[in-house]
Amino acid sequence: MAEIGTDLLIAAKHLKQGESVGIPTETVYGLAANALDERAVLNIFKVKNRPQFDPLILHAHSLEEVAKYVDHIPDKAGELAKAFWPGPLTILLKKKTIVPDLVTSGLESVAVRVPQHELTLELLKSLSFPLAAPSANPFGYVSPTTAQHVEAQLGNKIPYILDGGSSNIGLESTIVGFDELDQPIIYRLGGKTVEDIEILIGKTKTALNKSSNPVAPGMLKSHYAPGKKVLVGDINSLLKEYKNERVGVISFKEDYSELRPVKQLILSEKGNLDEAAQHIFSALRKMDDPEIDLIVTEKLPDIGLGKAINDRLDRASARY
Ligand code: TXA
Ligand code: MG
């Protein structure tokens, strides 16, 4: 079992020793270690059971700090960073040699982000190194949005989890990179909406990896999946079709209790997409329950955070 607490000194002590620590962010919880220490980074891959060809995000407390680790900041990247950091946006930039190849899986670019969480920002300011941190879940599983989620799956492999409450946004950061002409490409939909990004820097291209053998495996077609079969469609019809199975329903805002699912979770009774994003990962976890054979859910409106939620539902259901 990991110790769960809010003591920055204890978290810093473990990190300085090269250990991995659970940290809160506004998107999801991270599994953090010293990004400049190869052995510490290697331990992250081990704890998560993550293949080493899947690169990590480097977290720092400010744009000035990030600048120590990257070589070229395109104008539009600078604009994004100034407008949205700290916040749920990760930017891919050319790395300096000080960043170990293990962090970037040998790629020339490093993913960087300034997270918006008071405790974690304070922790980062107290350290003399940045933190490499993937989401704190076993590879391929749903990301954690509370310290208890981290404890449930990785607690026996790490010494400490910094408890910063429930993640405010509930979905991983949006990832933006730049092509040879410094034009922006969105690689992962996430907590910062495409609409917000485009208001600032104009039209973007999108390259969401939907294959089963992508360059960046975190964008694997099947990912973010709970241990149950997930079906996405019209909840009414799916409940009829699977009436002989023990079904758990995750709906956007409607109540389906009359159709007697074994369990039902409503993401946002008010139909608010931000609230739905906060709840989606914990809902998928709650349905990972021995009383349920099958999770039935539906697409949300394809705007704002709805786009990123729909992307996660696609991936959670991809193997079925
Ligand atoms: O919100 C988040 O981004 C959370 C919190 C903890 O900050 N972190 C997170 O990390 O989601 P992770 O490792 O679960 O997802 C990072 C994604 C992976 O899909 C990885 O393949 C991609 O970022 N990535 C990292 N570095 C990259 C690089 N240099 N080029 C392309 N993709 C990269
Ligand atoms: Mg992840």
Among 72-86, 218-232, 286-300, whose mean pLDDT is lowest? Answer: 218-232
Q: What pLDDT was estimated at residue 58? A: 98
| Ligand nearest, relative to CA of residue 90 | 1
**244 CA → ligand 2 middle, Å:** 34
Average per-residue pLDDT in the chain?
94
Q: What pLDDT was estimated at residue 213? A: 43
> Which percentage of the chain shows pLDDT scores above 90?
92
> Which percentage of the chain shows pLDDT scores above 70?
95
**What are the structure tokens assigned to 75, written together?**
């104008």
27 CB within 6 A, ligand 1: yes
103 CB within 6 A, ligand 1: no
137 CB within 6 A, ligand 1: no
Q: What pLDDT was estimated at residue 212? A: 47
Closest ligand 1 atom number to CA of residue 216: 21
28 CB within 6 A, ligand 1: yes
104 CB within 6 A, ligand 1: yes
Residue 289 reports pLDDT greater than 60: yes
Closest ligand 1 atom number to CA of residue 136: 6
Residue 206 reports pLDDT greater than 50: yes
Q: Confidence class of residue 224 from pLDDT cuts 50, 70 and 90?
A: low
Helix (H), strand (E), coil (C) string for the chain: CCEEECCHHHHHHHHHCCCCEEECCCCCCEEEEECCCHHHHHHHHHHHCCCCCCCCEEECCCHHHHCCCECCCCHHHHHHHHHHCCCCEEEEEEECCCCCHHHHCCCCEEEEECCCCHHHHHHHHHCCCCEECCECCCCCCCCCCCHHHHHHHHCCCCCEEECCCCCCCCCCCEEEEECCCCCEEEEECCCCCHHHHHHHHCCCEECCCCCCCCCCHHHCCCCCCCCCEEEECCHHHHHHHCCCCCEEEEECCCCCHHHCCCEEEECCCCCCHHHHHHHHHHHHHHCCCCCCCEEEECCCCCCCHHHHHHHHHHHHCCCC
